[in-house]
Amino acid sequence: MLDLKTKKILVTGASGFLGTHARAALKARGVEDDSIVAPTRKTYDFRERSACAEAVKGVDVVLHLAGVTGNTEFHKSEPARTYYDNLIMGVYLMETARAAGVQKFVTIGSATEYPERAPLPFREDDLWIGPLEADHAPYTVAKKMLSVQSRAYSEQYGFRAVHLIMTNMYGPGENVESGVFIPTLIKKVLEAKANSLSAVEMHGNGDATRDFIYVKDAAEAICLAAEKGERPDPINIASGWEISVRELAGIVKDIAGFEGTITFSPRAGGQPRRVLDTTRARVLLGFQAQTDFRTGIEETIKDFSARMRISP
């Protein structure tokens, strides 16, 4: 087990949604500020091998959290950028980290790595049993290659790389304009309440179910992976329970105090169900999500309200 307090840690994407919380989780463990390398995009362009080689010098642990992502519409509008940037950052960072003698490398994947028709709950052993959901393929394939690279580098070089398959995250600090479901829903509900509107309309029919994890729990899982992860086998990081989009909307409406209605379109959107098995995370990392959904949504609404300057 690595004692992170004694290590120099590179966090890519350190100023992003997940990266901000990961740095906070490291500090809560006693990692000093000067032991956390948190470059901005202006400092290092991780699409360049030379920048990656420079960034990993003298580093013991890499938490590779940087990525190009968005909602389905974004992935459809910029598939080449989504694929290339995510793929090349992972390839160069892991290779230069290996060459520099980095002790542990943690990568972040996505639940979209699972085949479209994988049995529920999604288990890590089923990652390769069928084709992927086409809408997310450029992003998904690039992220899935981090898992392939982790295993290949483990087998040939003995390199310790851990691939975490992250479910849908939410929480304070998320980009209100990201276009993903929870921020979009909260933004619409808060604006509707502030403007005395009677209804909010959302895409999809509301029947789809998803597994969500509070970002602070996700950050804790990343730290545990850096401390305890020894195998290249992918590990699901999730809450392990599912909630329908319609039920989620009702919780947001209730907490926000919105008295209008939330309507959905007739057509379905995306995979009908998505929930991840969390057994491997408990066994290998001792990780289990701690934040119940309602508490997490309350904190998220409070944060969004402050940043949007709207009273909840």
What residue spans define the domains of the chain? 4-170+212-240+275-290
Would you tell me the crossing angle of helices 181-194 and 293-308 to the nearest 10 degrees? 60
Comparison of pLDDT for 132 and 260, the residue scoring more:
260
Q: Residue 68 pLDDT > 70, yes or no?
A: yes
Three-state DSSP class for residue 247: helix
**What integer pLDDT is reported at residue 309 of this predicted model?**
86
At 135, the pLDDT band (50, 70, 90 cuts) reads confident
Return the half-sphere exposure (C-beta side, CA atoms, 13 A cut-off) of residue 217.
Answer: 25
pLDDT of residue 257: 96
pLDDT of residue 77: 82
Question: In this model, does residue 73 exceed pLDDT 80?
Answer: no
Looking at the domain that runs over 4-170+212-240+275-290, which CATH code has it been given?
3.40.50.720
- The pLDDT of residue 179 is 82
Say if residue 76's pLDDT is above 90: no
pLDDT category of residue 70 using cuts at 50, 70 and 90: low
Euclidean distance between CA atoms 150 and 161, whole angstroms: 5
**C-alpha distances in Å from residue 142, one per residue of 83, 96, 100, 159:** 6, 18, 23, 20
The pLDDT, as a whole number, for residue 95 is 98
Q: Let me know: does 23 contact 11? Beta carbons within 8 Å.
A: yes
CA separation, residue 62 to residues 73, 105, 189, 223, 258 (Å): 30, 5, 38, 11, 43
Among 130-134, 244-248, 267-271, which range has the highest average pLDDT?
A: 244-248
pLDDT of residue 268: 63
> C-alpha distances in angstroms, 235 versus 156, 172, 224?
21, 24, 12
Longest dimension (CA), the chain: 62
**pTM for the structure as a whole:** 0.95
The pLDDT confidence band at residue 162, using thresholds 50, 70 and 90, is very high
